[in-house]
């Protein structure tokens, strides 16, 4: 691997930016897409399709065989509020390939014992999300039912590129939440990004069922 390609790949990984490492099988020549120079233009469409499906594989392009290796960081889910629904949601999301972080300033609830397999941040959401870095492969779900905890998380998420932002609560509580966020300077377009109440309408009643509805909506948002 040429140094310039290696350096570009390392930089992409550090920035959590999905790329495709294209290797021409006839001679081992490599390009990193979509960053490559114009001479690799014929690869861009194939690389984009591989990125969309997040699947590596061999492709024949303009008479040449290439191996297109997808380098995509795991999508992340930040769950705000270490409640019972969060326990089930962390498990569902982890099984679906998400790197899960549970955020709650209440140390009694945010423990590794209650959330095996997830990272746990005992901190206020604004600080925790800033440290985590909320990029276009990050989802944020607010579950605490406490405006002091949920609102800062939603405020931070709406100021980021997060692909999925959701909050638990009734339609009445969600309307009140929108008013509070509007007072923080968020316009109609930003507020429309919030899925509230969170989850698909599957008639969920129990904590695991509600978590399942949220996990399903999360996957839908990611794949769409």
Q: How many CB atoms lie within 10 A of CB 79?
A: 31
| pLDDT for position 34 | 83
Measured between alpha carbons, how far is 140 from 201 in angstroms, rounded to an integer? 19
Q: Which of 20, 136, 112 is nearest to 67 (CA)?
A: 20
Q: What is the pLDDT of residues 163-222, one digit of tens each?
A: 999 999 888 999 999 999 999 999 999 999 999 999 999 999 999 999 999 999 999 999
Q: What is the mean pLDDT of the chain?
A: 92
Half-sphere exposure of 52 (CA within 13 A, CB side): 7
Q: What is the rounded average pLDDT of the residues 113-136? A: 95
DSSP structure string for the chain: --HHHHHHHHHHHHTT--EEEEEETTT--EEEETTS-GGGGGGHHHHHHHHHHT--EEEEETTEEEEEEEE-PPPEEEEES-SHHHHHHHHHHHHTT-EEEEE-S-TTT--TTTSTTSEEE-S-HHHHHHHH---TTEEEEE-S--HHHHHHHHHHHHTTT-SEEEE-S-HHHHHHHHHHHHHTT--HHHHTTEESS-S--S---SHHHHHHHHHHHHHHHHH-
Residue 55 banded pLDDT, cuts 50, 70, 90: confident
Residue 37 banded pLDDT, cuts 50, 70, 90: low
Q: What is the pLDDT of residues 9-33, one digit of tens each?
A: 888 888 888 899 999 999 998 888 8
| pLDDT for position 38 | 57
In the chain, what percentage of residues exceed pLDDT 90? 72
Domains of the chain: which residue ranges? 3-71, 76-223
Residue 68 banded pLDDT, cuts 50, 70, 90: very high
Q: Does domain 76-223 have CATH number 3.40.50.720?
A: yes
Q: Which of 189, 146, 136 is nearest to 167 (CA)?
A: 146
| pLDDT for position 39 | 56
């Amino acid at each position: 691997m040429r140094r310039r390609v290696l350096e570009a790949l390392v930089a992409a990984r550090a920035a959590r930016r999905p790329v495709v490492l294209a290797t021409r099988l006839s001679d081992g020549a490599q390009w990193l897409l979509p960053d490559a120079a114009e001479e690799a233009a014929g690869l861009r469409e194939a690389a984009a399709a591989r990125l969309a499906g997040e699947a590596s594989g061999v492709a024949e392009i303009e008479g040449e065989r290439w191996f297109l290796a997808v380098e995509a960081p795991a999508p992340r889910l930040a769950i705000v509020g270490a409640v019972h629904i969060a326990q089930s949601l962390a498990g569902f999301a982890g099984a679906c390939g998400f790197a899960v972080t549970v955020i709650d300033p209440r140390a009694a609830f945010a423990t590794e014992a209650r959330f095996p397999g997830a990272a746990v941040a005992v901190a206020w959401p604004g600080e925790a999300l800033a440290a985590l870095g909320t990029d276009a492969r990050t989802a944020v779900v607010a579950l605490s039912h406490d405006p002091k905890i949920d609102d800062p998380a939603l405020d931070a998420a709406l100021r980021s590129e997060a692909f999925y932002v959701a909050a638990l609560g009734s339609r009445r509580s969600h309307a009140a939440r929108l008013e509070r966020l509007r007072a923080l300077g968020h316009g109609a377009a930003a507020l429309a990004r919030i899925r509230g109440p969170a989850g698909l309408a599957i008639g969920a009643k129990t904590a695991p069922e509600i978590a399942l509805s949220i996990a399903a909506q999360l996957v839908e948002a990611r794949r769409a």
